[in-house]
Structure 1
Amino acid sequence: MIKVLELPADKDLAELSRELWVRKIGHQIRQSETKQEIFLANPKDYPELLALVQDWQNGTLAYTIEPEKDPSEGLREGWAAMKQWPLTAIILLISGLITALISFEPNPNWLAHFTIVPFEQVNRGLAYLPLWPTLQGGEIWRLITPVFLHFGIMHLIFNSLWVWEMGRLIERQQSSGHLAVLFLVSGVIANLAQYIVGDILFGGLSGVVYALLGYCWFWDRFAASPQFFIRKPVFIILLVWLVFCLVGGTSMLGFGEVANAAHIAGLVSGSLWALISVKLSGKNRSNMRSY
């Protein structure tokens, strides 16, 4: 995104922003105490943006009425999203399918195929193999598959929304390859961290969510040219949620235990990967000289 316009902080830009979205002009509004800045996703939209701002300031902005959607349009939009952000869509699709599969089986047979180590119920407890013999036996997929496991619809929805937002951002601003590497690295590290603290029955994309957050946030701070523009309140909210989970807040609310080690490992791995990626790309701020 590129900054194209500054406006006073006391102006309400809600109507202008709505009209821009209706016209499919991708943008972001960043506000401080003294000003509001409009960033455009596509510089080609700049002339139309200026015309709309002038109409809005003159009170003559013509609002576009959104047409009623054809029922089949949702399918076309879904297919378009698959083509535009294929890896993000695939990650969420696999998560949904596996979560549905383990939710409707009476016994945890399928679940045992996706946990970090295989297990079976013995009397009132669990019997399972350690990780290293499991990997030696060829079941390498277990290093990543726990990220696709979710133990409830709200768990799945919460994680999916964040992956959808930040995964698409990385695919759009960089590439599907960048997202694939980050997903695999952070997913494996988050799963191993949770296993090391003594858990085998855990799952979810939360560790990956925090890796995406750390990657986007710290890329913009390490690189000479920011790309993601994650809002500070979003970063703070997710950090507050992480701390809330660490102190047992979810248990007190009756939501059960949370894979805190996976959250922390995801955030750390994503942040470090941002630093490594910026260094490898040669786009870090220390490499940029002013003339």
Structure 2
Amino acid sequence: MFIRNETFYSFRKNYPIISGLIVIHFLLFLWINLSLWTNGLIPFGRTIMQWGVGNNGAVAAGEYWRLITPIFLHQGTGHVLFNSFSLILFGPALEKMLGKPKFITVYIATGILANIATFLLTGPFYTHLGASGAIFGLFGVYLYMVINRKDLIDAANAQIITVILVIGVIMTFINPGINIIAHLFGLIAGAVIAPLFLKKARPFYMHTFEPAKNREVTFNPNRWRKRRIIPTRTIFRLIGWIFLFLVIAGIISRLF
């Protein structure tokens, strides 16, 4: 479910919603930042940021579109890369299992609910942007599957998503500048609405996939050599050490 081995062509064909979201992320990111870097040579970049960023005071004044637009906006390079990479890893299985209309509905709905919670539970001058609330909404759907729909996710993938979710929540409280409310309420929103969207869902492996484009067949002299298979336990141990390192790095950066 979470191992990506598609080509660019097959990924785009199999997961059009996620592909579209990634394009929107980077187009808006480049548009805004190129406009800032060129001092307005590329028009409307500042306008997009000013009118799209989440702003509690503006929402209170009736600018309700700001509950939606922050989901698609990112400013820092690390921010857009991390959220887009998370979407590429964890979105495809849900896009297939839910179907395109339900997937985009869950994504947008959990993002909006996370932003509503941010508006209600933070100060009047609080500003925010990013897709993290919607991505944690997807994690909330997985959390519901792990707990109540074990027919949709096998034990190995359930373990992977549980580890990543725990680390994600820990990093939410450790790293500065993160919208904690959006992360937590995005997660809760995803878990709450999951039963409505998973009624007719089928496991990921039962879906059909667009194959990669045919390529010229070439002879590989090593094709019959026995491949070395890495034990699952070793993979999980490696993932655990990597995330432990990230947690320690986050704690140190918070202290200093």
Q: Is the structural similarity TM-score above 0.5?
A: yes
- Per-residue deviation at 1:233? 4.1
Partner residue of 1:90 out of 6, 20, 24: 20
Residue equivalent to 1:143: 67
Residue equivalent to 2:48: 110
- Is it true that 1:232 corresponds to 2:159 in the alignment? yes
Residue equivalent to 2:138: 212
Normalising by the residue count of structure 2, what TM-score does the alignment of the two structures yield? 0.64
Question: Any residues of structure 2 matched to 1:267-278 within 5 Å, and which?
Answer: 267-278=187-198
Could you report, residue by residue, the CA deviation over 1:79-106 in whole angstroms, capped at 9, with x for unpaired residues? Answer: 4322211101111110111111222223
- Per-residue deviation at 1:239? 2.3
Amino acid at match of 1:115: V
Of structures 1 and 2, the one scoring higher in RCO (CA 8 A, sep 6+) is 2
Question: Any residues of structure 2 matched to 1:60-99 within 5 Å, and which?
Answer: 77-99=7-29
Tell me, in whole angstroms, the C-alpha distance in 1 between the residues paired with 2:171 and 2:95: 30
Tell me, in whole angstroms, the C-alpha distance in 1 between the residues paired with 2:102 and 2:59: 32
Number of residue pairs matched by the alignment: 190
Tell me, in whole angstroms, the C-alpha distance in 2 between the residues paired with 1:192 and 1:133: 13
Partner residue of 2:98 out of 169, 174, 192: 174
Tell me, in whole angstroms, the C-alpha distance in 2 between the residues paired with 1:130 and 1:176: 29
- Per-residue deviation at 1:117? 4.5
Residue equivalent to 2:58: 129
Residue equivalent to 1:192: 116
- Per-residue deviation at 1:261? 0.6
Residue equivalent to 1:250: 175
Distance 1:239 1:151, change over 3 A: farther
Q: In terms of Rg, which structure is larger?
A: 1
Tell me, in whole angstroms, the C-alpha distance in 2 between the residues paired with 1:95 and 1:260: 21
Distance 1:78 1:271, change over 3 A: same
CA RMSD of aligned residues (A): 3.0
SS at match of 2:151: coil
Q: Which runs of 5+ in 1 are unaligned?
A: 2-16, 25-76, 119-127, 252-256, 284-291
Normalized per residue, the structure richer in helix is: 2
Normalising by the residue count of structure 1, what TM-score does the alignment of the two structures yield? 0.57
Q: Could you tell me whether the CA contact under 8 Å between 1:214 and 1:268 is conserved in 2?
A: yes
Q: Could you tell me whether the CA contact under 8 Å between 2:146 and 2:158 is conserved in 1?
A: no
